[in-house]
A and B are shown apart, each in its own frame.
Chain A
Amino acid sequence: AQSVTQPDIHITVSEGASLELRCNYSYGATPYLFWYVQSPGQGLQLLLKYFSGDTLVQGIKGFEAEFKRSQSSFNLRKPSVHWSDAAEYFCAVGVRSNDYKLSFGAGTTVTVRA
């Protein structure tokens, strides 16, 4: 069965500091990987995706993520966090054989302190 794990429920980071959010997946097939962000009271917005090719992908809002097949990971990073980055972040995985329907991790809440 497919699964997505986000080990960190909550992360607090200072404004201007770097941020890394972890995501691990368990799939038998090559997955398609996504990171979404959800601000309070809002829907989910796609930050970036990985389908194939370069394992370091760039997204919106200065985020990037690296796919590491050997570690079954797709960690999200941002070099310098802004207060507006406070939100909940979801890692999601889809596989072609399953119609690409997404399985989501439990989410990581990011708090940014001044």
Chain B
Amino acid sequence: DAGVIQSPRHEVTEMGQEVTLRCKPISGHDYLFWYRQTMMRGLELLIYFNNNVPIDDSGMPEDRFSAKMPNASFSTLKIQPSEPRDSAVYFCASSGVTLKAFFGQGTRLTVV
């Protein structure tokens, strides 16, 4: 398995634009997590899914953030409209029955 795959690796966008981050979890994993990492706040859990169903989105900072998981092999995190304070590294992770979370390499988002 290629591991958790995130795209793009880097994204630079202008304030106000829509940004979509993508994640392909490891096949067979039934949990998918979206994290945000910043210097100020460290690693924060934004939302997680179990069997494609959102379970807890209490970490999503604002209504500008939304996440979907239309099937077991794909998830998106969308920010609309984006703001400079959204600049961070966004990680996707997946886990299965072993409870070990495997992380993607992250998407570094810069909003200018």
Residues of A within 8 A of B99 (CB): 32, 49, 51, 94, 100
Q: Contacts A43-B91, A44-B91, A90-B43: A102 and B105 contacting too (C-beta < 8 A)?
A: no
Residues of B within 8 A of A46 (CB): 100-102
With most chain B CB atoms within 10 A of its CB, the pick from A44, A90, A100 is: A44
Interface membership of B106, Cβ < 8 A: yes
Contact B56 A99, beta carbon cutoff 8 Å: yes
Q: Shortest Cβ distance from B108 into chain A, in angstroms? A: 8
Interface membership of B45, Cβ < 8 A: yes
Interface membership of A97, Cβ < 8 A: no
Task: Name B's interface SS.
Answer: strand
Residues of A within 8 A of B31 (CB): 99-100
Residues of A within 8 A of B4 (CB): 43
With most chain A CB atoms within 10 A of its CB, the pick from B50, B100, B105 is: B100
| Interface size range on B against A | 20 to 34
Q: Which of A79-105 contact B (CB under 8 A)?
A: 90, 92, 94, 99-105
Q: Contacts A99-B56, A101-B48: A45 and B95 contacting too (C-beta < 8 A)?
A: no
- 22 residue pairs bridging A and B, Cβ less than 8 Å apart: A32-B99, A42-B105, A42-B106, A43-B103, A43-B104, A43-B106, A45-B103, A46-B100, A49-B100, A90-B43, A92-B101, A99-B50, A100-B31, A100-B95, A100-B99, A101-B48, A101-B56, A102-B101, A103-B45, A104-B42, A107-B42, A107-B43
Given A43-B105, A46-B102, 15 new contacts (CB under 8 A): A32-B99, A42-B105, A43-B91, A44-B91, A44-B103, A46-B101, A92-B101, A99-B31, A101-B45, A101-B48, A101-B56, A102-B33, A102-B45, A104-B42, A107-B43
| Chain A residues close to B by CB (< 8 Å) | 32, 34, 36, 42-46, 49, 51, 90, 92, 94, 99-107
